[in-house]
């Protein structure tokens, strides 16, 4: 680890995902490009009294391959199970032999926007109904948002930098960007980074309903999440996790790793404007994209594709469109832009990592995933959003946007790998 930080290049060598449209990267990708959708009526609880009765749930999930024992499964919240499983997939996909690796130089950053909400709710009910003496001794370790990151490092003896990000819907992109920075600075040779979320429970749905943030298209779940469409009425909550293996280039080459693409840039700004609304004209988002371009040493004309935050909210989609235009100028008309949240719902703190996997697969396969359910374009959203049908296109560089409540903005930038 002797290179100057500016010379250290970071590549993506492993992908792992647990999502409403697939519990592995290949299934996830094939569903995206064929226009599949994971949104349906909520099955995990009776949502009949809720304004929003739909979500993109992870169904049929089996945590056993990635967790060492049934006891460990009982002692982990669902969000941690998702995160550990996705990281385990990324580890397998990377092909690294940990027995031969320097585990002091391998770290983990798996964030969560909300953390163990199921555990919090269940244990609060125990407290109210049975008293403090019946609370689980594992309550705190189960609910804290850093535990997916901590558990994965423990299971595999990874002793490098380890923490969790928490920045609402920007969480996973911040995790990836900080992992990129960690490798660039020489503090690790490899990082597993991403996000995990499991908030499709009564208090989670109810809280977002109270904000009037969710779609109420309950009679038509498959078409409820419709980014950039004139008839959008809010986002659809999703759940799951995604983790990517990031690696210093020479470290990856020395072990003959497969390289999906290069993580070349990262932007990180604040709106400093409002609890939940974007800054006017997407000003904070624009600065974030510009920072990612500057850190990657690329010009705006070098970008082929933008995976938009595109949540299907009335304000957010317009603000992001304005931000893209501000950054790219005339080139915005030549960009392809899509939001995959029509298929996955909004996976909150996991969204940025799921969507960076989509960017990596788009570069690898030469296919741009579509924005499904885009039937009536909003006049204020007038870019090329790849409506409804995937498109073949060689992608040389892609931006991945994530913007969170609290005014948090994070952009990651990936490029086709050229040695």
For 260-270, the pLDDT digits (tens) are 999 999 999 99
Tell me the per-residue pLDDT of 203-230, one tens digit each, with 9 for 90 and over: 999 999 999 999 999 999 999 999 999 9
352 close to 20: Cβ distance less than 8 angstroms: no
pLDDT at residue 4 in the model: 56
Q: How many CB atoms lie within 10 A of CB 304?
A: 20
Mean of pLDDT values over 111-138:
97
Q: 371-397, pLDDT tens digit by residue?
A: 999 999 999 999 999 999 999 999 999
Q: What is the pLDDT of residue 68?
A: 87
The DSSP bridge pattern shows strands 336-338 and 305-307 to be parallel
Could you confirm whether 346 is annotated as catalytic? yes
Q: What is the DSSP string of 170-201?
A: THHHHHHHHHHHHHHTTS-SEEEEEEEE---S
Query: Does residue 191 contact residue 108 with C-beta atoms inside 8 Å?
Result: yes
Question: What is the C-alpha separation between 268 and 178, in angstroms, rounded?
Answer: 10
Among the options 156, 309, 359, 381, which is catalytic?
Answer: 309
Number of H helices, E strands in the chain: 13, 14
How does the average pLDDT of the chain come out, rounded? 96
Predicted local confidence at residue 279, as pLDDT: 87
Is residue 309 annotated as part of the catalytic site, yes or no?
yes
Residue 22 near residue 36, CB atoms below 8 Å: no
Q: What is the mean pLDDT of residues 72-79?
A: 96
User: Averaged over 237-252, what is the pLDDT?
Assistant: 98
How many CB atoms neighbour CB 228 within 10 A? 28
**What is the percentage of the chain residues whose pLDDT exceeds 70?**
99
Q: Is the pLDDT of residue 295 over 70?
A: yes
| Contact in structure between 119 and 176 (CB atoms under 8 Å) | no
Helix or strand holding residue 296 (H, E) = helix 283-296
Closest CA to 284 of 129, 408, 119: 408
Give the C-alpha separation, 399 to 344, whole Å.
Answer: 19
CATH, domain range 266-415:
3.40.47.10
Copy the structure tokens of residue 178.
């900080």
Q: In the predicted model, what is the mean pLDDT of residues 16-28?
A: 98
Give the pair of three-digit tokens for residue 46: 């009776």
Contact residues for 158 (Cβ-Cβ < 8 A; gap 6+): 98, 103, 106, 107, 108, 152, 192
pLDDT tens per residue, range 127-154: 999 999 999 999 999 999 999 999 999 9
23, 85, 156, 346: the catalytic one is: 346
Please tell me what DSSP assigns to residue 376: S
The active-site residue out of 52, 166, 169, 209 is 169
Rounded mean pLDDT of 341-370? 98
Question: What is the Cα 69 distance to its own chain's centre?
Answer: 27
Nearest Cα neighbor of 347 from 262, 251, 241, 243 is 241
- Whether 2 shows a pLDDT value over 80: the answer reads no
What share of the chain in percent tops pLDDT 90?
A: 96
The length of the chain is: 419
The predicted pLDDT at position 78 comes to 98
Helix, strand, coil shares of the chain, percent, nearest 5, are 40, 20, 40
| Domain ranges in the chain with CATH number 3.40.47.10 | 9-254, 266-415
Rg for the chain (alpha carbons), in Å?
Answer: 20
Q: Please, which pLDDT band fits residue 6 given cuts at 50, 70 and 90?
A: low
Confidence band for 5, pLDDT divided at 50, 70 and 90: low
pLDDT at 306 over 60: yes
Contact 312, 235 (CB under 8 A): yes
Which residues are within 8 A (CB) of 78 and not within 5 positions of it... i.e. 6 or more apart? Answer: 116, 118, 198, 239
**Which has the closest alpha carbon to 292: 221, 212, 356, 379?**
356
Confidence band of 1 (pLDDT split at 50, 70, 90): very low
Fold for the domain defined by 9-254: Peroxisomal Thiolase; Chain A, domain 1 (3.40.47)
Tokens of 14: 């492993």
- Averaged pLDDT, 361-379: 97
How far is the CA of 25 from the CAs of 31, 61, 243, 390, in angstroms?
10, 14, 10, 17
DSSP 233: -
pLDDT at residue 289 greater than cutoff 50: yes
Distance of alpha carbon 374 from alpha carbon 367, whole angstroms? 18
Q: Is the pLDDT of residue 3 over 70?
A: no
**Can you tell me the mean pLDDT for 74-103?**
97
């Amino acid at each position: 680890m002797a290179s100057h930080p500016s010379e250290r290049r970071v590549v993506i060598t492993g992908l792992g995902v647990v999502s409403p449209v697939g519990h592995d990267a290949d299934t996830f990708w094939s569903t995206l490009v064929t226009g599949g959708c994971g949104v349906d009526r909520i099955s995990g609880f009776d949502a009949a009294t809720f304004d929003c009765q739909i979500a993109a749930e992870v169904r049929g999930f089996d945590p056993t391959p990635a967790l060492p024992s049934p006891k460990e499964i009982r002692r982990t919240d669902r969000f941690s199970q998702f995160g550990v499983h996705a990281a385990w997939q990324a580890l397998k996909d990377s092909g690294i032999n940990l027995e031969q690796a320097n585990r002091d130089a391998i770290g983990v950053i798996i964030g969560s926007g909300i953390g163990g909400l199921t555990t919090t709710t269940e244990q609060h009910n125990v407290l109210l109904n049975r008293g403090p003496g019946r609370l689980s001794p594992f309550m705190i370790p189960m609910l804290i948002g850093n535990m997916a990151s901590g558990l994965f490092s423990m299971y595999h003896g990874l002793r490098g930098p380890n923490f969790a990000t928490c920045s609402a819907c920007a969480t996973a992109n911040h995790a990836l960007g900080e992992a990129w920075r960690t490798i660039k600075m020489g503090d690790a040779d490899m990082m597993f980074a991403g996000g995990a979320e499991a908030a499709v429970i009564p208090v989670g749905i109810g809280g977002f309903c109270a904000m009037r943030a969710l779609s109420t298209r309950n009679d038509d779940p498959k078409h409820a999440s419709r980014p950039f469409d004139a008839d959008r009425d809010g986002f659809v909550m999703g759940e799951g996790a995604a983790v990517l293996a990031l690696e210093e280039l020479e470290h990856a080459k020395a072990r003959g790793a497969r390289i999906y693409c290069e993580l070349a840039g990262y932007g990180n700004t604040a709106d400093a404007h409002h609890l939940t609304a974007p800054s006017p004209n997407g000003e904070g988002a624009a600065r974030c994209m510009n920072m990612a371009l500057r850190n990657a040493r690329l010009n705006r004309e070098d970008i082929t594709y933008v995976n938009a935050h595109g949540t299907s909210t009335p304000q957010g989609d317009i603000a992001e469109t304005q931000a893209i235009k501000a950054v790219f100028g005339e080139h915005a008309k030549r960009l392809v832009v899509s939001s995959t949240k029509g298929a996955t719902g909004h996976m909150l703190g996991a969204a940025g990592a799921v969507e960076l996997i989509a960017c990596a697969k788009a570069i690898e396969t030469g296919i741009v995933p579509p924005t499904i359910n885009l039937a009536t374009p909003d006049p204020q959203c007038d870019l090329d959003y790849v409506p409804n049908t995937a498109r073949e296109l060689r992608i040389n560089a892609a931006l991945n946007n994530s913007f969170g409540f609290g005014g948090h903005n994070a952009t990651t930038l990936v490029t086709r790998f050229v040695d």
